[in-house]
Structure 1
Amino acid sequence: MEMDRTSIIGIVLIMLLFLGWQYVAAPSAAEIEQEQRYQDSLAALSEAELREAESPRADILPVDPTSLSDSARLAQYGGRFGAFAASAVGTAEDVVLENNLMKLTFSTKGGSIKVAELKNYDKVVEREGDEEVHLPLLLLEDEQNKFEYILPVNGVAGEGVRTSDLYFTPTVEGNTVILRAAAAGGGYLEQKYTLPDDTYLIDYDVRFEGLNSVLANTNGTVQLYWENHLDKIENNSQYEANYSTLYYKPVDDDTDYCSCTSDDTEELDDQPLKWVAGSQQFFTSALIADDRFSSAVLTTIADTDRLQDDELKVLVSNLAVPVGTSPSESFGMSFYVGPNEFERLRAIGYDLSDVISFGSSIFGSINRWIIRPLFNFLSGFIGNMGIAILVLTLLVKMLVYPLTYKMLVSQSKMQVLKPEIDKLKAKHKDDAQAQQMETMKLYQEYGASPLGGCLPMVLQMPIWFALYRFFPASITFRQENFLWANDLSTYDSILRLPEWIPFMQGHLSLFAVLWAVTTVIYAYYNSRHMDYSAQPMMKYFQYIMPIAFLGFFNSFAAGLTAYLFFSNVFNILQTIITKNFIIDQEKLRAKLDANKKKPKKKSGFSARLQEALKEQQRAQAAAQAKKGK
């Protein structure tokens, strides 16, 4: 029992001594709070790294980062930022440059353009009740945008340090802002922007100073990653999306582009680029190298399931910037952030005007070098672009009127010969092939042709196809109003329709309706004396076609549907005036009779056609005779 009592007393004394030591050695309340703040900051930093979120912020650091020495800061962030640990913390600030055309806001975090405001253009938003609200037009403003260099820094695992995680020190000198991210040993990464007056073209240079020992083997390039989330600007966002994509210009080849309607990736591993441009319907953000980008991988995301509601598309450019191993390296570029004004883009050179979707075929050439200059000329003394479209329509109709006159003469010949054709039908009412053969002979005898009216239509088709691309691509018509149309570059909605109505996209365009109505009127007046007995469906098709195409034209640019409507009106007027007041039916009949009396020389085509009809007639007769036996 004595031994047990002694053991107990010893254990109690040891416990008392241990408790006394804990009390004496315990940290103060302030020390406990500091330690907890430190552990919380480490946990937050670890979680952010796993999510690839932003770099450490001042509000999660155990101590004020400005109080850390360079060595302490390097120890804290060296694993993630290496020699750029000194630039890993800071406070994001805005720096502004502006001229008479635009206002640029830069962020010191990342050193890139945060937003570009174009002073001479508005974004129009429709509120309830068809109220239009004009807002500032902003480019490069999406918070998800990224413009960053990925630096392969020594001692940093993974792909390297992203400059979007670094804080740059700004210096403003007149119309130039210089942003530098410091590195250990006195080196730095510099981004320099200069914005002259009266231009949307920004001079942009990146400089690697004293980083040759900081950067790991770059294989002669540093990656520039540009992710541009295009937000909707125009009312017709579906139309806008079809004219928005990534364009690029290979150094030794023609301009090309990614798909406008679906997701696409272009891997240009061995193809140096002069420039790459994220172009919307009327505005472009382009990066132009003074020399060239070594290679690129370009991606467009157009799938609506991968986009947010307010996004039009996402454009991603991975560009290889050539960087050597000397102590001081720089790479010169230009940044164009502005409207798709043809002359302005053309003045920059390097085929940058190709971002305007005029087309790359002959129709694109018609738009660039005929229709565009003509509209520029007309707009010089006509204040309203709708009136300019009307004048253009009149000029086109005057230009092709000699051919239109021949077409109307040919139609009048068909009208004069209709009694003769009716006699042939009655004579060969049970033999369609005989009717065709005898009708062809009749046309040849009188010097008439049922195809004589096709040429004017064929010659005008290139103009129609060119204008189809011109109006929605030309910024000249953006937000230009005419009559009830508020914007000639998009549809002129006069009535909201339920979304369930097919093909109409929830609205009704008045110019499209007027085009359809006048097309039906013109078809009726133009074909009253035409013979459709051989192809009766053609008589009804000419009336069904405009109604069927109404849904197709309903979302087209009002400038185009206005042109088509004006064209129909002029066609109707020309037909009525020419047939009733210019063409003399009696003289035309006399001329046809004179043609009949002249000796005829069969053309090779006419002879072959008649021989084919005769052969078909003989074959049919033989088949009927065989069937009768």
Structure 2
Amino acid sequence: MSQRPDDHKNLLIAVALSMAVMLGWQVFYAGPQVKEQQERVQRDKAAQEQAQKATEGSPATPAAPSTALPGSKPAQPAITARSTGTRAEVLASSASARVPIETPSLTGSISLKGGLIDDLVLVNYRETVDPKSPNVVLFSPLGAPGAYFAEYGWQGAPGAQVALPDSETVWQAESGAKLTPATPVTLTWDNGQGLKFQRAVSIDENYMLKVVNTIENTTTGDIVLTPYARLYRFGTPHTSGYGTILHEGLIGVPGDAGLQEIPYASVLEDGGAKSFDGKTGGWLGITDKYWAATLIPDQKATYAASFRGQQGNATSQEVFWTDYQLGVQAIAAGATHTVDGHLYAGAKQVRLIESYEAELGIEKFELLIDWGWFYFITKPLYYVIDWLYGILGNFGLAILAVTVMVKAVFFPLANKSYESMAKMKKLQPQMEQLRERYKDDKAKQQQELMALYQKEKINPLAGCLPILVQIPVFFALYKVLFVSIDMRHAPFFGWIQDLSAADPTSIFNLFGLLPFAVPEALHIGAWPVIMGITMWVQMQLNPPQPDPIQQKIFSYMPLIFTFLLAAFPAGLVIYWAWNNILSIAQQWYISVKQGAEVHLIGNIRRTFAPLGRLVGLNKGESKSETKG
């Protein structure tokens, strides 16, 4: 049987699309994970070598590591802080020198030692879907594992002998002070040299803190100081490993310099730090997948900013920090000077972040959420899903509904494609006659086939258009499911308790019926299986390919996609399966309407014919044996 040119084109397109998805998986998922693992191994190896060298050259009894942080040298932090106990132990040891924080969204405390905002826990988010699991911890104090906190201070002029508050300074607060949305807190410290410092901290019901630093100069001379704010993070945190899809690390918009995204590993490299001077507006911070902390200077003030990191050694952890320094402030004798700033510390909620951008005039604060290059598709898709969720009350149902809406938007295009496919089915006898007539003249055969397509107004590539349309929406929805905190721990029905995570079941233990765990690589859940079946059924609507190799490739595509999508978020797999079902119904309807043959039943019988013959043969043998 001769091979058909148009089938070859469709085959090449189908294979190209399959390879694109597999390549995308490699680039966006497998590759970053491997790279991150390699980088982590290299960092650990380097740290071990440094530790070994330090041990060989150190005295028998090494000095206790220092935990000092800079007060007057904000550009060069000490990185000798190591964990001295659990987070609970460190907080308990300083409980009497802390001002509690209590809001509907955050709990924690401010350390009077250093005036650090270093203890924040998210009230409305837990580590896992288990309602009894611990709440998500954002900030932790120095000495605890993964120390993470914000510091505000003043830098003196070079050579000036002025006592300024630093990390060892013990601030004073009113007895019984508690930071709530209704009760701001004011910390005070007197340097004993005529300078009185105040730090007023207020907080809203969500995740925004306002920090107002005030200096009263009661001396007889002018004082020159430089205010700064800094965000520290000790130790490299665990990341999701999807570096090419989602940024985790240092981030910010320092004025007109635009969005800056620096991964943890990159900022530790030589030349990885970034500095900016003379900037106005914007913000600086450190982001995780779902949580972030950002320093927000006065949007009208000019400042210098930096993103930095420093490797650890035998007595320290690596440390990451971002900071800003305002211009030099001259405080006249008898005058009082005030500097305002904000600190955002919490969940990356889309509408909340947008509201802060509008209310406080924070330049491009919305970029804290990584919508990707195709934000013009991703962000509107999020809003549609969020709107549908408000109506339906379930994000899974919202995904099903948005699939119907996408189908409706592209219905004319898909309709035209399926109609073209249906017409091609009806023309199969004429096409075969042309191939047979010009089997020795491929150029003439192709010319006659194209003339037939033009006469009947058929596009031989139209069958691929629905797939081409579906792919951008697929990746946009993937991005929404991946970056949006609204999808985190959002349940569907049955066993799907988190639409942002992969289907937890596996076909290899009969979806949990057999009492043994399945390796991660073999987690092929129920929804990926449903997706694969619906994809296979959709392919059976078309006539079988005349070329056996083509037919095998098309036959294995549903299996390949089942394995590929098994590790994708369950919400995405549900979308794909539901989209397949709608496509089956639409294609069937148009085929019947056009009078074209629907090959589904025939293809299914043909596929399972060997099994039927095997069963029939066994029955025949049984009857023969009984008769004998």
**Residue of structure 2 in register with 1:583 after alignment:** 594
| Greater Cα shift, 516-525 or 109-118 | 516-525
Shift in alpha-carbon separation, 1:181–1:132, aligned structure 2, 3 A = same
- Does 2:583 correspond to 1:571? yes
Aligned-partner residue type, residue 375 of structure 1: I
AA partner of residue 497 (structure 2): N
AA matched with 1:182: D
Question: 1:296 maps to what in 2?
Answer: 305
Q: Kindly indicate whether residue 531 of structure 2 is the aligned counterpart of residue 520 of structure 1.
A: no
Tell me, yes or no, if the aligned pair for 1:279 and 1:285 is still in contact at 8 Å.
yes
2:555 and 2:590 map into 1 onto residues whose CA distance is 23
1:148 aligns with 2:151: yes
Q: Distance in 2 between matches of 1:486 and 1:149?
A: 41
How far apart, CA to CA, are the structure 1 residues paired with 2:256 and 2:296? 15
How far apart in 2 are the matches of 1:537 and 1:214? 90
Q: CA RMSD in A?
A: 4.0
Q: Percent identity?
A: 23
Letter matched to residue 251 of structure 2? Y
| Contact 2:415–2:590 (Cα < 8 Å) also in 1 | yes
Question: Match of 1:365?
Answer: 376
The answer as to 2:206 corresponding to 1:199 is yes
Displacement of 1:400 in angstroms is 2.1
d(CA) in 1 for partners of 2:134 and 2:236?
A: 14
Q: Secondary structure at the match of 2:211?
A: strand
Relative distance call for 1:232 and 1:205 in structure 2 (3 A) is same
| Separation of aligned partners in 2, 1:566 and 1:98 | 44
Q: How far apart in 2 are the matches of 1:440 and 1:299?
A: 62
SS in 2 for 1:374: helix
**Where do 5+ consecutive residues of structure 2 fail to align?**
1-61, 70-93, 510-517, 598-628
Deviations 1:334-378 (A, max 9, x none): 11222222221111112322211222x3x312332x323322321
1:4-15 equivalent positions in 2, closer than 5 A: none
User: Quick check: 2:278–2:302 contact (8 Å CA) kept in 1?
Assistant: no
From the superposition, tell whether residues 94 and 505 of structure 1 become closer, same or farther in structure 2 (CA, over 3 Å): farther
Deviations 1:544-565 (A, max 9, x none): 4454455543332222221112
Higher relative contact order (CA 8 A, sep 6+): 2
Structure 1 counterpart of 2:295, one-letter code: L
Q: Which residue matches 1:439?
A: 449
What secondary structure sits across from 2:591 in the alignment? helix
Larger radius of gyration: 1
**Aligned match for 2:67, one of 30, 41, 53:** 53
Deviation of residue 272 (structure 1)?
4.1
Unaligned 5+ runs, structure 1: 1-45, 56-89, 126-130, 587-629
TM-score (norm: length of structure 1): 0.66
C-alpha change, 1:383 and 1:146, in structure 2 (3 Å) is closer
Aligned equivalent of 1:319? 324
Distance 1:156 1:92, change over 3 A: farther
Preserved CA contact (<8 Å) 1:97 1:176: no
CA contact (8 A) 1:259 1:300 kept: no
Provide closer, same or farther for how the CA distance between residues 538 and 247 of structure 1 changes in structure 2, counting only shifts above 3 A. farther
SS at match of 2:67: coil
- Name the aligned partner's letter for residue 167 of structure 1: V
Q: Which residue of 1 aligns with 2:167?
A: 164
Paired amino acid for 1:562: I
Paired positions, count: 479
CA shift in 2, pair 1:406/1:433, >3 Å: same
Shift in alpha-carbon separation, 1:189–1:97, aligned structure 2, 3 A: same
Whichever residue aligns with residue 344 of structure 1, its letter is L
Shift of 1:204: 1.1
Compare 513-522 and 348-357 and name the one that shifted more: 513-522
Query: Does structure 2 conserve the Cα–Cα contact (< 8 Å) formed by 1:91 and 1:167?
Result: no
CA contact (8 A) 1:293 1:319 kept: no
2: distance between equivalents of 1:163 and 1:208?
15
Tell me what 1:107 maps to: 111
SS at match of 1:488: coil
Matched, 1:186 2:191: no
- For 1:452 and 1:397, the matched residues in 2 are separated by 16
- What residue in structure 1 maps to residue 47 of structure 2? none
Aligned-partner SS, 1:269: strand
Report the counterpart of residue 230 of structure 2 in structure 1.
225
CA distance in 2, matches of 1:300, 1:389: 41
The structure 2 residue matched to 1:277, chosen from 285, 288, 297, is 285
For residue 285 of structure 1, report the CA deviation from its aligned partner. 1.5
Distance 1:251 1:579 in 2: 57
Question: Residues 108-150 of structure 1, C-alpha deviation per residue, up to 9 Å, x if partnerless?
Answer: 111111222222222217xxxxx77421222112632353356
Q: Secondary structure of the equivalent of 1:124?
A: coil
1:413 correspondence with 2:420: no
Separation of aligned partners in 1, 2:286 and 2:421 = 51
**Residue 434 of structure 2 contacts residue 449 of structure 2 at CA under 8 Å; is this kept in 1?**
yes
SS in structure 2 of the partner of residue 297 of structure 1: strand
Work out whether residues 248 and 277 of structure 1, in 8 Å CA contact, stay in contact via their aligned partners in 2: yes
Cα separation, 1, equivalents of 2:103 and 2:120: 12
The TM-score, its normalising length taken from structure 2, stands at 0.66
Q: Match of 1:77?
A: none
Secondary structure of residue in 2 paired with 1:415: helix
8 Å CA contact 1:152–1:215 kept in 2: the answer is: no
Equivalent-residue separation in structure 1 for 2:195 and 2:100 (angstroms)? 26
Shift in Å, 1:243:
4.2
CA deviation after TM superposition for structure 1 residue 387, in Å: 1.4
CA distance, structure 1, for counterparts of residue 309 and residue 555 of structure 2: 42
Q: Is the 8 A contact 2:283 2:297 kept in 1?
A: yes
Instruction: Give, in angstroms, the shift of residue 107 of structure 1.
Output: 0.8
Q: 1:259 to 1:445 in 2, by over 3 A?
A: same
1:14-413 aligned at under 5 Å gives the runs: 47=63, 51-54=65-68, 93-124=97-128, 133-141=132-140, 143=144, 144-149=147-152, 151-153=154-156, 163-171=166-174, 172=177, 175-196=183-204, 198-210=205-217, 221-229=226-234, 237-239=240-242, 242-252=246-256, 254-259=258-263, 262-263=266-267, 264-291=272-299, 292=301, 294-299=303-308, 315-327=320-332, 328-349=336-357, 350=362, 351-359=364-372, 361=373, 363-368=374-379, 370-413=380-423
Match of 1:511 in 2: 527
What SS is found at the alignment partner of 2:436? helix
Whole-angstrom CA distance in 2 between matches of 1:108 and 1:568: 59
| CA distance in 2: counterparts of 1:261 and 1:467, whole angstroms | 28
